[in-house]
Copies of this chain bind each other. A is one copy, B any other.
Amino acid sequence: MNSQSGQPLESVDLTDARIDDAFWSPRIETVRETTIDFVHERLADSGRIENFRVAAGETEGEFQGRFYNDSDVYKWLEGACLFLVTEDDDGLRERVDEVVDLIAGAQEADGYLNTYFQLVEPDKKWTNLHVLHELYCAGHLIEAAIAHREATGEATLLDVATAFADHIDRRFGPDGEDGVPGHEEIELALVKLYRATDEERYLDLARYFVDRRGAADSRLKYEAFNPDAIAGEPYDHVVDGEEYDGRYFQDHAPLREQETVEGHAVRAMYLYTGAADVALETGDRELVEVLERLWENMTERRMYVTGGIGSSHEGERFTEDYDLPTAESYAETCAALGSVLWNQRLLRLTREARYGDLQSRTLYNALLAGLSLNGDRFFYANPHEMGRDGHPLHDVDPNRFANERQGWFQTACCPTNVPRLLASLATHVYASDESSVYVNHHIGSEATLDVADGTVDVDVETSFPWDAETTVTVTPSEPVTFELALRVPEWCVDASARVAGEPVDATPGEFLRVEREWAAGDEVRFEASFPVRFLSGHPNVESTAGSVAVQRGPIVYCLEGRDSPRPLHQVRLRANGDVAVEHDPELLDGVTTLDLPAFVPDESRWDDGALYRPVSETDVEPTTVRAVPYYGWANRGPDEMRIWLDAESGEHDRPE
């Protein structure tokens, strides 16, 4: 499927858009009020901030933590700055400035900046790209710096970032040293820096990193086979005997030849996002087709129903087609975030609703599950099933594989990632070009967009995700003709819309498009129903066989033990049975619950103590179980949980 227009959409700047949504605003406020402070304390307690102070020479000390710890500080900084864009906060600004000063102070004269190398291996900079994350950290520095300028109007950190980018640009590229990052991120950051500075070198370097990856004479391969030439240790998991297996970091083939999503899921998402960013700027259609092909492999073979990706904890990676275990699912929160970023770019490149649908699926489910309702507990890996005895991988790592969200992780990528996404959520809602305004998400919000030669204020009011009523009000500076496009999610039924009282076509899975002259106060009134959908997984997926998941609107549901009269293994849902839908404003900060009809064993049949007995139809009795949104699980204490529940596959009449 190709795009409908050769010209990509522009996303809205955060300065021009604002969330005002019954569902999302309280969550964003929690992150602003709780998570940002909480994460800052952890960064300070764990020495991550102190590393910059030591590198700046302000104090004596040794490097603390892991070699990528700078990135956590940058990501927190970016999130904090994004919040400052939309709302002043003197206390937060003070902490931001303090950290910015430390970062600036730590930068070396030639622009280099990485506290691990500066403090631990100063003579071995740039020798181990495949493991040691210098370019990854640089990417997050760049993103933080752009947010900092957007928030403060000051160039302090942007100057640091460009100096480092220039250092990197001098060192790497067609005219310099060969190399690509072991962990992608700098590609998308360089495109962002290009947009922020209009300096084409950054775009060129991003394109170089995208296109150089997977070369036959891979630099990453060289490093893996030459431990004496590099800082630290090489990865052994990219070496298979004499053979190099670069799939872990998407270095197995040039991107343009790749046909399956491979390896570390976060890396893959960041690469694809960076490549899409390059395509957005260069109009590279081939790259778009490659990304569409990879997207189809991911969504048709390697993705959880929540939008979660990267099924295995070994390498935090994609594995094989249809390999999607539920209890051991990795589905890293950061990978979900990466998917949201990638799909934003694909939507802008192609104007196809399916990318907005997947953003929505991922945001409401895979991503949001990573954060506790109170904002200070996190899942790094996201189980899709929890047993009564806890996580099956608990002994591998009790921190990442627990039955409750945790306060922190040695690798703290996820707690520092979620805030920067939620702070910039508004930038995902809108996109536009000179003749179009796209409302990609049914999220209450306002934006001011440049259209034709003027501006249009757009206001979205919605009952999503619990009900499907949305009103989009447009207020152009003067009456103007443009196309207004509103995504009609594929999980809508009986979708309809009216503009100025006139019905317009609204097809689920597509954008509703209305091209007309719009005047101040004109409205698109959209409505649909959200039937409860019982989903089955592809027959090749072993973990979902015989089971169903339940989705309503964008929300994937789960069953927690406390909401079932029986242990979850005893519950067999009556797929497509009558469901009682009710909104409970108190439960889990307000959720719509689903009372699902189910069968459970008639325990009286087992009174004789038998362990095995012949089955009969009357062994079961009807009951009801209450499903809650998956994102809200594990907020009421440890419990068993299942997304996929055993089910009768049809619509039989059963004994009542």
Which residues of A approach B to under 8 Å, CB–CB?
296, 299-301, 303, 305, 533-542, 545-546, 548-549, 566-567, 569-570, 572, 575-576, 599-601, 603, 606, 609-617, 619-620, 646-652, 654
Is the CB–CB distance between A534 and B611 below 8 Å? no
Shortest distance from the beta carbon of A123 to any chain B beta carbon, whole Å: 40
> What is the minimal beta-carbon distance from A49 to any residue of chain B, in angstroms?
40
B617 touches A649 (CB 8 A): yes
Contact A572 B546 (CB under 8 A): yes
Compute how far the CA of A315 lies from the CA of B637 in the bound complex, rounded to whole angstroms: 32
Tell whether, in the assembled complex, residue B614 and residue A533 are in contact, meaning their CB atoms are under 8 Å apart: yes
Expressed in whole angstroms, the Cα–Cα distance for A223 and B379 within the complex equals: 45
**Main secondary structure on A side of the interface with B:** mixed
B300-A601 in contact (CB<8A): no
- Tell me if A615 and B654 are in contact (CB < 8 A): no
- The verdict on A537 contacting B611 (CB below 8 Å), with A545-B569, A649-B620 known, is yes
Apart from A539-B566, A545-B569, list 8 A-B contacts with CB within 8 A.
A305-B612, A536-B601, A536-B615, A538-B612, A539-B603, A545-B570, A615-B649, A616-B650
Q: Are B650 and A611 in contact, CB atoms less than 8 angstroms apart?
A: no
The residue of chain B having its C-beta at the shortest distance from the C-beta of A361 within the complex is B612
Least Cβ–Cβ distance between A596 and chain B, in angstroms: 13
Q: Which residues of B contact A566 (CB under 8 A)?
A: 539
Query: By the criterion CB–CB under 8 Å, are A617 and B569 in contact?
Result: no
Nearest CB of B to A656, in Å: 13
Quick check: B539 and A615 within 8 Å, CB to CB? no
Residues of B within 8 A of A599 (CB): 649
Can you pick out 9 interface pairs between chain A and chain B where the beta carbons lie within 8 Å of each other? A300-B609, A305-B612, A534-B615, A536-B612, A546-B546, A549-B612, A576-B615, A576-B617, A652-B652
Check if A539 sits within 8 Å of B606, measured CB to CB: yes
CA distance A535 to B610 in the complex (A): 11
**Top 3 A-B residue pairs of the complex, sorted by shortest distance between their CB atoms:** A617-B650, A539-B601, A545-B569
Question: CA separation between A537 and B540, bound complex, in Å?
Answer: 26
Which chain B residues lie closer than 8 Å to A576 at the CB level? 615-617
CA distance A617 to B652 in the complex (A): 9
Bound CA span A43–B654, Å: 60
Min CB distance A430 to B, Å, is 28
Q: Tell me which residues across on chain B come within 8 A of A572, comparing CB atoms.
A: 546, 649
- Chain B's nearest CB lies how many Å from the CB of A593? 20
Q: Is the CB of B575 within 8 A of A611?
A: no
Q: Once the chains are docked, how many angstroms separate the CA of A500 from the CA of B107?
A: 106
Closest residue of chain B to A602 (Cβ to Cβ) is: B539
Chain B's closest residue to A540 (CB) is: B567
Assembled-state Cα–Cα distance A601/B603 (Å):
31
- The reply to whether B542 and A615 form a contact with Cβ atoms under 8 Å apart is no
A569 to B611, CA, bound (A): 24
**Distance of A523 Cα from B566 Cα, bound (Å):** 53
* CB-based contact A536/B613 at 8 Å: yes
A572 to B: closest C-beta gap in Å: 6
> Does B612 lie within 8 Å of A535, measured CB to CB?
yes
Q: How far is the CA of A229 from the CA of B541 in the complex (A)?
A: 56
Q: For A614, list chain B residues within 8 Å (CB).
A: 533-536
A494 to chain B, nearest CB (A): 15
Residue from A538, A610, A647 whose CB has the most chain B CB atoms within 10 Å? A538
Q: Across the interface, which residues of B come within 8 angstroms of A537, CB to CB? A: 611-612
